[in-house]
Structure 1
Amino acid sequence: MPLRPWLFLLAAVAVEVLGVTLMKRASGSGAWMPLLFMYAMIGLSFYFLALAVKRLPMALAYAAWETLGLVCVTFIGLRYFGESLSPARVLGLAVLLAGVVLVNLGAPRAQAA
């Protein structure tokens, strides 16, 4: 499978994480500009996701996008916002990661020419 759809997927994750982090920062400020930038990042994330699903199975792309985004946002919450990581959260993240691996294993493979 070509690398380009995976790069689009990683770009989608990166801008989604940026948008969600801005959501946390902007939620208490009342300023419009951070909120507009947040919406732009979320929209750009869906654009990159749409480019990725042109070549990747939709279930795989969406599962990976959501799970990688959640893992990144969890670590940002821990590092920058003082959020905690309980054993239940760790288990939930592990189950999500296992689910992405299983979805990837079940995805149809491209036939060799």
Structure 2
Amino acid sequence: MPLRPWLFLLAAVAVEVVGVTVMKAASGSGSLAAFMFMYAMIGLSFCLLAQAVRRLPIALAYAAWETIGLACVTLIGLRFFGESPGPFKLLGIAVLMAGVVLVNVGASRAAAARDRIGGGVAAEG
């Protein structure tokens, strides 16, 4: 798969993490400007995700977007908001990451099978 859709996906994750982090901070202050910034970041995240799914399987892109975002937000919660991970939360994140790997393997195998039977479409990168 070409690199460009993965860059869109990583940008979507980064912007989503910023939006969710601002959401946590804004929920305590009630600042309208903070909420508007949060909505802008989450909207931009979906726009970037839409660009990624033009070339990536939607199941793979969405699973990766949510899982990487969850892992990042969990780390931010630990570092900046005093939240604790707990064994079940860590296990849940590990299971989600394993799921993303399995979805990726499944998507790669499906693409290879399509290409073998001549049903593949050349992707632009």
**Structure 2 length-normalised TM:** 0.87
Listed as ranges, the gaps of 5+ residues in structure 1 are none
Indicate the larger mover: 87-96 or 102-111: 102-111
Q: Could you tell me which amino acid in structure 1 is paired with residue 14 of structure 2?
A: A
Structure 2 segments unaligned to the other structure (5+ residues): 117-121
Q: Which residue of 2 aligns with 1:109?
A: 111
Summarize the alignment of residues 44-83 of structure 1 with structure 2, pairs less than 5 Å apart: 44-83=44-83
Stretches of 4+ aligned residues off by more than 2 angstroms: 108-113
CA distance in 2, matches of 1:72, 1:109: 29
Corresponding residue for residue 43 of structure 2: 43
Distance 2:95 2:60 in 1: 15
User: Residue 48 of structure 1: CA displacement?
Assistant: 0.3
Structure 1: how far apart are the matches of 2:91 and 2:28? 30
Bigger radius of gyration among the two: 2
Q: Helix, strand or coil for the counterpart of 1:27?
A: helix
**Structure 1 CA distance for aligned equivalents of residues 70 and 4 of structure 2:** 22
Q: Structure 2 counterpart of 1:63, which letter?
A: A
Query: What secondary structure does 1:78 align onto?
Result: helix
Give a deviation string over 1:18-73, Cα, whole Å, max 9, x none.
Answer: 00000000001121000000000000000000000000000000000000000000
Q: Which residue of 2 aligns with 1:11?
A: 11
Query: Identity over the aligned pairs, expressed in percent?
Result: 73
Output the aligned Cα RMSD.
Answer: 1.3
Q: Secondary structure at the match of 2:111?
A: coil
- For 1:19 and 1:31, how far apart are their aligned partners in 2? 14
Q: How many residues align?
A: 113
Whole-angstrom distance in 2 between the partners of 1:30 and 1:24: 10
